[in-house]
Amino acid sequence: MSDFLNSLKISASGLHAQSARMRVIAENIANADSAAKTPNEDPYRRRIPSLRAEFNSELNAYEVKIGKIQMDNSDFETKYEPGHPAADERGYVRYPNINSLVEQMDMREAQRTYEANLNVITASRQMMGRTLDILRG
């Protein structure tokens, strides 16, 4: 039974990590079109979630944890909008360095990984139930 419980705990750590990753990606998507309020202010900067493996001595296995959330230091996108309050002296407005297509693909990958961990939990619970049924019978 302890192997089943260990697999549940390991998969649960994957669920938590992917859930945190999806929150960061959702924040990026939500801010993809937000410009700064003034010409001297930077717009939202894309955040990049990372994952790390952490050894759990109780389980004698590695768990997945959310790592540091890094800032993407790539250049901001600029658009010519001379009437915008955040336009510089040349009429350009800086927008976040977010590519919505990349964010959507990252979100899809995180969702699929989340689902895979959920499937492991479901299968482990079913196997635990069957094992208990056999032991009762």
The encoded tokens of residue 20 equal 């945190």
Q: What is the pLDDT of residues 19-48, one digit of tens each?
A: 999 999 999 999 999 998 899 899 999 999
State which amino acid sits at residue 27.
E
The encoded tokens of residue 34 equal 């937000």
- Tell me the C-alpha distance between 14 and 116, whole Å: 9
Contact status, residue 120 vs residue 42, Cβ threshold 8 Å: no
Q: Find the length of the chain.
A: 137
Global confidence as pTM: 0.87
- Tell me the C-alpha distance between 54 and 77, whole Å: 36
Per-residue pLDDT at 1 exceeds 70: no
- In this prediction, what percent of the chain has a pLDDT beyond 70? 99
Q: What is the pLDDT of residues 65-80, one digit of tens each?
A: 999 999 999 999 999 9
Neighbours of 136 (CB within 10 A): 6
The encoded tokens of residue 15 equal 């669920």
Per-residue pLDDT at 5 exceeds 90: no
